């Protein structure tokens, strides 16, 4: 039975003057020898025609004016084929049924070789690149896979290909700013299928704030210089583009010390040369270096008064300034911290002067300002009631005004002063240290949403300082519980956040004292976390460059229990959560996160008992869409080395049916 289908295609001018002889070609072979021409209307860019297509007969767009390279296929209807969504490499096979049902099937079968990141290792020479930079990529096992295909992808789109010929090779980063790319290495089989050997992400962004990936360093002992390069290389492989220097300083009220070796707050030895070496090495990878310090603390026991800190600058528990506020630390440490009024103008000038000493002697890019949460009822020296949260914007502006070229980040502990910090207008990102007040997965969603609202037009990103397996870490020297870590990271990334967790030398945070190394990553977690950071970097435009959530209408025909994750409804135990967004490039993205086997709805996994989820397979969805779908694909950090896999689908009118093949922790479904 033959169907008449109206085809309409609008080609962007950027495709070139020759790309205008558009035909619809039928038949199973590609490229087809000929096609039925569509008529070009006004301007030569709009092509339209009514074509007879037999039931189950494959067809595709082709442009014979430029050698027969195919434009991307689309079902019946009006479709805009822009330069952003053009593909010359992978052609879907699409058939039209008698009832105008469109069936799309991938042209190429893609399977995974199953290598770990160490088994097929790829490296880049920087964590972040500027548009047009030369990207150097390394494949140490190139000799074993000489002749494989190196492919450069933006989302699913292939923007370049070459043959793997050498261990190191350059790739010129595209001119577009704030774009993530995936470099995949595939082996083309004789039957036309492909085996994915490995992949690595590339971030082309002129400023880290758009797609932040924050790490830390906390060890500066004398003699460490020889290990700094390898320690920082670990962060570079995970595309960390900014690093917090925790506990590097001499005193909170006087952070810089010019001695070759001095003591930190815990009386550990700190080598000034090692600090410099870390900064220089990180700059070589295009990472920013932030020095950590509390924004309003002094070491009374370590000479605060002698160093010029005045009694009138502290804040007090009473109106008679007889009870100072303290953050108590062990007696073996240099001092407990006496807390200063951050709104006191004299204190602000004092600490800005001390920061001047830091910047004059060390090439830090910015200041990570810490706080200690809500202190309760407090007073200044003169007995005036003060609210600490309202004092922070003035402190931040004092730092910014003194050093306008330097970056600022400030911690919001358990949400304290979140609104005041996010709306200050002088910070790079929002930074939230979450504790017992926000233990749930849905709290991650709420904090990201609140930060966006408070930041207004700044489109602020959120970094979470979420310490995993916290209680387990207190009395154990063991490995992290991998399922808890990966499920939490899946939620943070899918919701559009970032996670401060990775430290130099292969360390991961488990406590608020960053030098603590109670828990360790085993080889499986190192491999998995590398994939997660590859994924978050390669697909950053699908995670962060979004213009809003969507509330999809769907039915599940495979028996899986799915719940939509939005502001009004968080994830549920024993269900799959679906969180949907619309990207600025026009794609609809649905993040599927597996909560089917959880034993808690807390991201903290305090006792390290979160079980590994059972993989869900064959998740069949029927979605209501109001556009003609051109391509459906999935990608996951849990499979196929993060590479995109095209899915078959059937579309009839507003209804599209597809099957997500697998879900371990997190799978991203994209409709273009």
Q: Residues 267-296: pLDDT tens digits?
A: 999 999 999 999 999 999 999 999 999 999
Q: What is the pLDDT of residues 122-148, one digit of tens each?
A: 999 999 999 999 999 999 999 999 999
Over 90: is that where the pLDDT of 119 sits? yes
Which of the four pLDDT bands, split at 50, 70 and 90, describes residue 103?
Answer: confident
325-338 pLDDT, tens digit per residue, is: 999 999 999 999 99
Query: Which pLDDT score is estimated for 142?
Result: 93
pLDDT value of position 94: 52
Q: Which of 24, 179, 41 is nearest to 540 (CA)?
A: 179
Dig out the tokens for 158 from the structure: 């292939």
Q: For residue 71, is pLDDT > 50?
A: no
CA 205 and chain centroid, separation: 13
User: For 426-443, what is the mean pLDDT?
Assistant: 98
Give me the pLDDT at residue 64, please: 54
**Residue bearing the bigger pLDDT, 11 or 334:** 334
Note the pLDDT of residue 48.
65
Cis peptide before 12 (omega within 30 of 0): no
Nearest to 215 by CA among 519, 410, 543, 506: 506
The whole-number pLDDT of residue 641 equals: 98
**Distance (Å, rounded) from C-alpha 672 to C-alpha 650?**
14
pTM value is: 0.87
Rounded to the nearest 10 degrees, the angle between the axes of helix 441-455 and helix 482-494 is 30
Region 442-447: mean pLDDT is 98
At 459 the pLDDT is 86
Say what the pLDDT of residue 453 is. Answer: 95
Residue 84: its pLDDT value, please?
35
**pLDDT, average across residues 601-629:** 97
Residue 6: pLDDT over 60? no
Q: Is the dihedral of CA 203, 209, 214, 218 positive or negative?
A: positive
Distances 307 to 41, 253, 379 between C-alpha atoms, Å: 79, 8, 24
Work out the average pLDDT over 341-345.
98
Assess whether pLDDT exceeds 90 at residue 592.
Answer: yes
pLDDT above 90 (res 42): no
What is the model's pLDDT at position 16? 36
Per-residue pLDDT reduced to its tens digit, 524-571: 999 999 999 999 999 999 999 998 899 999 999 999 999 999 999 999
Which two structure tokens, joined as six digits, stand for 436? 């017992």
- Place 36 in a pLDDT band, splitting at 50, 70 and 90: confident
413 pLDDT exceeds 50? Answer: yes
pLDDT beyond 70 at 303:
yes
Task: Please tell me which residue, 174 or 97, carries the higher pLDDT value.
Answer: 174
pLDDT at 382 over 90: yes
Query: pLDDT at position 209, please?
Result: 97
pLDDT in tens, 628-661: 899 999 999 999 999 999 999 999 989 999 999 9
What is the band of 10 on the pLDDT scale with cuts at 50, 70, 90? very low
| Predicted pLDDT at 26 | 66
pLDDT score for 483: 98
CB 287 within 8 A of CB 241: yes
Q: What pLDDT is attached to residue 107? A: 82
Q: Indicate whether 2 pLDDT > 70.
A: no
- The fraction of the chain above a pLDDT of 70, given in percent, is 86
Q: What pLDDT is attached to residue 23?
A: 72
Local confidence band at 15 (pLDDT 50, 70, 90 cut-offs): very low
Name 42's Cβ contacts closer than 8 Å, sequence gap at least 6.
Answer: none
**How far are the Cα atoms of 115, 130, 212, 236, 444 from residue 431, in angstroms, in the given order?**
35, 25, 11, 21, 12
Band (pLDDT 50/70/90 cuts) for residue 109 is very high
pLDDT mean across residues, the chain: 90
**pLDDT at res. 47:** 61
Q: What is the mean pLDDT of residues 214-230?
A: 98
pLDDT band at 88 (very low <50, low <70, confident <90, very high): very low
Phi, psi at residue 109, to the nearest 5°?
A: -80, 130
- Residue 91 reports pLDDT greater than 50: no
pLDDT at 80 over 80: no
Strands (E), 164-300: 168-172, 179-188, 194-204, 214-217, 242-245, 261-263, 269-271, 288-294, 297-298
Give the confidence band of 77 by pLDDT, cuts at 50, 70, 90.
Answer: very low
């Amino acid at each position: 039975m033959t169907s008449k289908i109206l085809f309409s295609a609008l080609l962007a001018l950027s495709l070139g003057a020759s790309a205008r002889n558009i035909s619809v070609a039928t038949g199973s072979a590609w490229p087809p020898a000929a096609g039925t021409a569509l008529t070009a209307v006004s301007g030569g860019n709009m092509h339209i025609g009514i074509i007879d297509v037999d039931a189950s007969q494959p067809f595709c767009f082709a442009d014979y004016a430029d050698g027969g390279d195919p434009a991307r296929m689309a079902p019946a209807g009006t479709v805009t084929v822009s330069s952003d969504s053009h593909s010359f490499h992978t052609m879907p096979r699409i058939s039209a049924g008698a009832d105008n049902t469109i069936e799309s099937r991938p042209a190429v079968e893609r399977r995974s070789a199953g290598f770990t990141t160490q088994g097929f290792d790829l490296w880049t020479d920087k964590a972040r690149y500027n548009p047009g930079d030369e990207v150097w990529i390394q494949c140490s096992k190139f000799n074993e896979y000489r002749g494989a295909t190196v492919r450069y992808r933006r989302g699913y789109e292939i923007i370049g290909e070459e043959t793997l010929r050498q261990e190191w090779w350059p790739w010129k980063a595209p001119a577009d700013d704030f774009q993530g790319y995936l470099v995949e290495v595939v082996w083309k089989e004789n039957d036309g299928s492909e085996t994915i050997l490995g992949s690595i992400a590339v971030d082309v962004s002129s400023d880290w704030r758009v797609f932040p990936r924050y790490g830390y360093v906390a060890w500066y002992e004398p003699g460490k210089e020889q290990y700094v390069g390898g320690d920082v290389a670990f962060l570079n492989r995970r595309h960390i583009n900014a690093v917090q220097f925790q506990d590097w300083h001499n005193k909170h009220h006087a952070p810089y010390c010019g001695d070759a070796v001095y003591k930190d707050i815990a009386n550990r030895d700190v080598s000034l040369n090692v600090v410099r070496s870390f900064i220089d090495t990180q700059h070589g990878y295009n990472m920013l270096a932030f020095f950590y310090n509390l924004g309003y603390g002094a070491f009374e026991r370590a000479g605060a008064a002698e160093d010029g800190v005045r009694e009138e600058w502290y804040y007090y528990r009473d109106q008679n300034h007889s009870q100072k506020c303290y953050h108590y630390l062990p007696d073996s440490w240099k001092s407990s911290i006496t807390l200063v009024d951050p709104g006191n103008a004299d204190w602000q000038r004092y600490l800005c002067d001390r920061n001047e000493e830091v910047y004059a002697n060390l090439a830090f890019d910015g200041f990570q300002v810490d706080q200690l949460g809500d202190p309760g009822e407090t007073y200044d020296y003169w007995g005036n009631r003060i609210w600490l949260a309202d004092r922070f914007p003035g402190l931040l502006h004092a730092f910014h005004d003194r050093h306008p070229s330097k970056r600022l980040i400030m911690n919001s502990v358990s949400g304290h002063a979140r609104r005041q910090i996010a709306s200050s207008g002088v910070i790079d990102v929002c930074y939230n240290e979450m504790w017992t007040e926000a233990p749930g997965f849905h709290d991650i969603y709420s904090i990201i949403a609140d930060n966006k609202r408070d930041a207004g037009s700044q489109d602020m990103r959120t970094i979470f300082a979420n310490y995993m397996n916290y209680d387990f870490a207190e009395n154990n020297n063991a490995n992290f519980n991998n399922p808890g870590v990966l499920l939490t990271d899946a939620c943070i990334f899918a919701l559009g956040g970032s996670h401060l967790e990775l430290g130099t030398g292969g360390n991961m945070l488990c406590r608020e004292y960053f030098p603590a190394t109670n828990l360790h990553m085993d080889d499986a977690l190192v491999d998995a976390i590398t994939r997660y950071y590859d994924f978050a970097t390669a697909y950053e435009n699908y995670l962060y460059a979004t213009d809003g959530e969507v509330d999809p209408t769907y039915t599940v025909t495979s028996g899986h229990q799915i719940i939509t994750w939005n502001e009004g409804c968080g994830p549920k135990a024993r269900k799959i959560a679906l969180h949907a967004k619309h990207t600025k490039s026009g794609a609809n993205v649905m993040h599927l996160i597996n909560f089917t086997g959880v034993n808690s709805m807390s991201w903290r996994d305090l006792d390290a008992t979160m079980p590994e989820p059972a993989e869900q397979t064959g998740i069949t969805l029927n979605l209501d869409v109001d556009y003609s779908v051109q391509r459906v694909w999935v990608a996951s950090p849990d499979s196929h080395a993060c590479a995109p896999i095209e899915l078959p689908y059937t579309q009839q009118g507003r209804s599209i049916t597809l099957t997500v093949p697998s879900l371990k922790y997190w799978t991203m479904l994209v409709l273009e």
